[in-house]
């Protein structure tokens, strides 16, 4: 059967097309299709390129702005200090100042905070900035010591979660403390033997004796942990004989440098005589 004939016969009479209408349809079918919306893809591409360009320029400007930004240092304006040396010192004055500098350093080092401060030779001191009055020199040294103590305090706070309570084995109790030595952290363990006794007055165990106080570095994971030599120890019984306050002094050696350190650590006993 002729499919074309069937299709034509299936079309109602009132829908029959003229030869002219058929020719028009054939022309449209064979002509290339051009949508009235054909400009949209081009416009979208151009718009995307413009947006990307704006973002790139903005990022470049932000980067350049960040690189060129300066942080205010808040440097105070120079103020005349009555102790500042305003005129060149004579040789005799320099020698006198230098002796004062050494005394100031010696006094600071007696505190044994773990910081090392030395007076350079006279020839190494800068004429314009290093030769200051002993009062100013003392302030500078004090700032160095205070800065070291502050750094050590901050370091201890950061390491507090790693500090374990006292441990007792074979009658010897040990407790550790972290210290800061010129950029490095070391753990020192203090051990001692304690005796406790029941107090009827307090109805609890209290300390009655201490012996064999010693200290050592505990850094097994560090290959070059340095050396610690305990030079002295002392103690006092406080808090109603519930606490021993132990004072330790020693020298820490590392990479040919030595640091004197003095510190205090406390051991406590609970009502049952457990050391912590």
DSSP for 9-75?
HHS-GGGPPPHHHHHHHHHHHHSPP--TTTHHHHHHHHHHHHHHHHHHHHHHHHHHHHHH------P
Asked whether residue 187 falls in the same domain as residue 252, the answer is yes
127 and 96 part of one domain: yes
Query: Is residue 1 one of the residues assigned to a domain?
Result: no
Residues 130 and 213 both lie in one domain: no
Q: Which of 216, 217, 197 is nearest to 207 (CA)?
A: 197
Residue 175 forms part of a structural domain:
yes
- 45 lies in some domain: no
Query: Is 100 within a domain?
Result: yes
Per-residue model confidence (pLDDT) at position 25: 43
Higher pLDDT, 247 or 128: 247
For 236-276, the pLDDT digits (tens) are 999 999 999 999 999 999 988 899 999 999 999 999 999 99
Distance of CA 213 to the CA centre of its chain: 34
Q: Which residues face 248 on adjacent strands?
A: 233, 263
Please indicate, yes or no, whether residues 211 and 188 belong to a single structural domain of this protein: yes
Could you give the CA distance from residue 227 to residue 249 in angstroms, rounded to a whole number? 14
Residue range 191-232, pLDDT digits in tens: 999 999 999 999 999 999 999 999 999 866 666 788 999 999
Contact 99/133 with Cβ under 8 angstroms?
A: no
Are 213 and 230 members of one domain? yes
The yes-or-no verdict on residue 43 having pLDDT over 70 is no
> Does 6 have pLDDT greater than 50?
no
Residue 128 sits in the same domain as residue 169: no
Task: Confirm whether 27 is domain-assigned.
Answer: no
48 lies in a domain?
Answer: no
166 and 173 in contact (C-beta within 8 Å)? yes
pTM for the model:
0.61
Listed residues 106, 135, 158: the one ending a domain: 158
Residue 114 lies in a domain: yes
Quick one: tokens of 140? 């500078």
Residues 169 and 154 in one domain: no
Q: Are residues 259 and 203 part of one domain?
A: yes
Range of the domain at 111: 91-158
In a domain, residue 151? The reply is yes
Q: Are residues 134 and 219 in the same domain?
A: no
Alpha carbons 49 and 53: distance in angstroms, whole number: 6
Structural domains of the chain, count: 2
The stretch 92-116 carries a mean pLDDT of 95
pLDDT, mean over the chain: 77
Q: Which of 158, 189, 216 is the last residue of a domain?
A: 158
Residues 215, 148 share a domain? no
Residue that terminates a domain, selected from 135, 158, 181:
158
Q: Are residues 141 and 199 in the same domain?
A: no
pLDDT of res. 223: 67
Q: Are residues 105 and 174 in the same domain?
A: no
């Amino acid at each position: 059967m002729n499919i074309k004939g069937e299709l034509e016969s299936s079309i109602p009479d009132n829908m029959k097309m003229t030869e002219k209408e058929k020719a028009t349809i054939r022309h449209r079918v064979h002509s290339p299709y051009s949508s009235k919306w054909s400009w949209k893809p081009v416009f979208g591409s151009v718009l995307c390129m413009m947006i990307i360009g704006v973002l790139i320029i903005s990022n470049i400007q932000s980067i350049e702005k960040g690189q060129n930004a300066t942080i205010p240092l808040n440097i105070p304006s120079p103020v005349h200090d009555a102790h500042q040396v305003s005129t060149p010192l004579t040789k005799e004055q320099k020698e006198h100042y230098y002796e004062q500098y050494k005394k100031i350093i010696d006094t600071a080092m007696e505190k044994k905070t773990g910081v090392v401060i030395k007076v350079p030779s006279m020839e190494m001191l800068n004429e314009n900035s290093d030769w200051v009055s002993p009062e100013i020199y003392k302030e500078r040294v004090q700032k160095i010591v205070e800065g070291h103590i502050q750094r050590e305090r901050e370091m201890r706070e950061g390491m507090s979660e790693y500090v374990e309570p006292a441990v007792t084995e074979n009658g010897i109790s040990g407790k550790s403390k972290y210290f800061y030595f010129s950029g490095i952290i070391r753990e020192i363990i203090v051990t001692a033997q304690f005796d406790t006794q029941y107090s009827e007055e307090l109805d609890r165990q209290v300390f009655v004796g201490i012996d064999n106080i010693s200290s050592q570095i505990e850094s097994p994971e560090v290959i070059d942990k340095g050396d610690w030599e305990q030079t002295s120890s002392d103690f006092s019984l406080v808090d109603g004989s519930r606490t021993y306050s132990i004072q330790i002094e020693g020298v820490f050696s590392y990479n040919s440098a030595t640091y004197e350190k003095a510190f205090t650590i406390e051991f406590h006993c609970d009502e049952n005589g457990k050391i912590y």
